[in-house]
Amino acid sequence: MKPIQLRWWVFVPLFVLAAGAALPVATKDEAAAKSPDRSVDKSGAEGRKVIARHVDAMEAEAKAMRAKDPESAEVVTRVAKVLREEILEAHKSDADAGDADGMGPAYDPEAGRRSAAGGAPTRQVKATIVTAAEFTRNYAGKFPRDGNLARGGRATASGTHPEADDPITTLGGVRRRDTWCLNATRGWFQADWPAPLTGRYLFLFNRPHGGAGDAWESGLLEINGRPIARIGAFPAGHVVVADLGEAVSIKNVKVSFQGRDFPGIAGLEVHRAMRR
């Protein structure tokens, strides 16, 4: 086997993880008690932008070397993913949007160049969790089932409970039915489309009447392999609403999550635009 040649940036995650304790994590009460000097950026945002640029370079080089040296390419790809998740976790303490609903922040460092190639959205992602009643009142009429672009995709998962439906059932417009779930406390679900979709709005419908343990405790939403939002507590019967800010080419959507028993989803929908 050809020896793996590691470059300097392979060791960056070690420094990122070691410095993790230094990232600012302020509760809302603490933030209210402070009067920060807004002329100075103390959030570390500029540092994360620098790291994001290096991650872009790492991913580009991994893609270029994949044919000749797949082992090294895989190492670089894994390191890049760790860094992206570290940046996303740091953003969680900076963003105000979505905190009350248990959603993490938007993820948008240096995203402009990536969207054209089917990467992350170029604008700030707005993600929130609403109840079934709120979805019916504020979203259902604007996003009818016949506008769902997710149909025709392929769905895979880390595992499926023997009493649950196949993961593919989640793409058919199901909103309030107990369809698919994991066979463990944690795992992942992924939807892929042979021809990329062009969509702006994503909806994740949780199972309507699962036990308390079947609810999500936490999760991560990715588009085209790039994290875009953290998901916090996601109870039964609730809906994740994600607005990407613009229509994006979507090759795949992946959610990784965990709960106490058998968390899952009832449905995943992708819509290009809302109806007036």
155 compared with 3, residue with greater pLDDT = 155
Q: Which pLDDT score, from 0 to 100, does residue 54 have? A: 76
The residues pairing with 154 across neighbouring beta strands, listed in sequence order, are: 192
- How many Å apart are CA 235 and CA 213, to the nearest integer? 9
Exposed e or buried b per residue across 192-215, where buried means at least 16 C-beta atoms within 10 angstroms of its C-beta: ebeeebebbbbbbbbbbebeeebb
Numbered ranges of CATH 2.60.120.260 in the chain: 99-271
Q: Which pLDDT score, from 0 to 100, does residue 103 have? A: 38
Residue 245: phi, psi to the nearest 5?
Answer: 90, -20
Q: Which pLDDT score, from 0 to 100, does residue 94 have? A: 43
The single-letter DSSP state of residue 260 is S
**Span 162-166, average pLDDT:** 94
Whether the full predicted model's pTM is greater than 0.75, yes or no, is no
Q: Are 234 and 128 in contact (CB under 8 A)?
A: no
Number of H helices, E strands in the chain: 6, 9
pLDDT bracket for residue 96 (50, 70, 90): very low
For the chain, the first-to-last Cα distance in angstroms comes to 59
Q: Which pLDDT score, from 0 to 100, does residue 123 have? A: 75
- CA 208 and chain centroid, separation: 22
The CATH superfamily label for domain 99-271 reads: Galactose-binding domain-like (2.60.120.260)
